[in-house]
């Protein structure tokens, strides 16, 4: 359940989106370099369309909480999980680029993550699965309205899956109640106790 103070519009600016059309790859690269020092800014590029989004405090708190819980799970289960954070992934030849909210490799880090996480507060904008498919990211997790939706890349399309192919023992419905962005440390501690029980 979302705490009301995270939804308080006076507490922080809500997410905002700006979509630009007819943007060349070179212009995307220049904008990315120019805006690279702005935390909480996400750019998604798909074949000439550029979406620039500012993230809200709620968004950042949720993605941090989920990341901490996933990382706690990996530690408790002794899984070699390596994170990239929200670094930019792009392919000029495919005309695609974006910054996941969080992303991970299970085992050694490669050129692309095994798992990308997206927190969805407001809908609309560029279809991120199309961007991820062009980047060949095998698995994408969306957190929206208090639940996870997972997708695995099969060929050039994503298909919904019930559990992660990379973390098959991770019980995501059991993880949902621990996503408490207002009390992250206690949420992680309680989740760890649950895993150990």
pLDDT, one tens digit per residue, over 156-195 is 999 999 999 999 999 999 999 999 989 999 999 999 999 9
Mean pLDDT of 121-135: 91
pTM: 0.88
Report the DSSP pairing between strands 147-154 and 157-161: antiparallel
DSSP type of residue 86: T
Q: Is residue 46 part of a domain?
A: no
pLDDT, one tens digit per residue, over 63-106 is 999 999 999 999 999 999 999 888 889 999 899 999 999 999 99
pLDDT, one tens digit per residue, over 141-151 is 999 999 999 99
Domain that holds residue 116: 57-196
> Total structural domains in the chain?
1
pLDDT at 5 over 80: no
Q: Is residue 176 part of a domain?
A: yes
Tokens of 59: 């968004």
Q: Is residue 146 part of a domain?
A: yes
Helices (H), the chain: 25-34, 57-76, 128-135, 172-175, 184-196
Q: Is residue 8 part of a domain?
A: no
CA dist., res. 38 & res. 23, Å (int): 20
- Decide if 65 contacts 184 (C-beta within 8 A): yes
C-alpha gyration radius of the chain: 17
CATH of the domain at 81: 3.90.1570
């Amino acid at each position: 359940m979302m705490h009301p103070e995270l939804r308080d519009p006076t507490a922080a600016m809500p997410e905002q989106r700006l979509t630009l059309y007819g943007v060349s790859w070179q212009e995307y690269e220049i904008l990315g370099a120019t805006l690279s020092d702005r935390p909480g800014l996400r750019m998604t590029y798909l074949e000439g369309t550029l979406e620039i989004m500012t993230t809200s405090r709620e968004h950042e708190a949720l993605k941090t909480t989920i990341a901490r819980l996933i990382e706690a799970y990996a530690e408790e289960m002794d899984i070699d999980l390596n994170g990239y954070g929200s670094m930019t992934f792009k392919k000029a030849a495919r005309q695609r680029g974006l910054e996941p909210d969080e992303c991970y490799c299970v085992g050694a880090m490669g050129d692309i993550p095994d798992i990308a996480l997206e927190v969805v507060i407001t809908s609309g904008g560029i279809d991120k699965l199309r961007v991820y498919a062009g980047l060949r990211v095998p698995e994408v997790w969306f957190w929206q309205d208090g639940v996870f939706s997972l997708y695995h890349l099969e060929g050039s399309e994503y298909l919904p899956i019930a559990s992660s192919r990379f973390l098959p023992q991770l019980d995501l419905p059991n993880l949902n109640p621990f996503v408490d962005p207002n009390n992250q440390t206690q949420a992680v501690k309680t989740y760890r106790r649950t895993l150990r029980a």
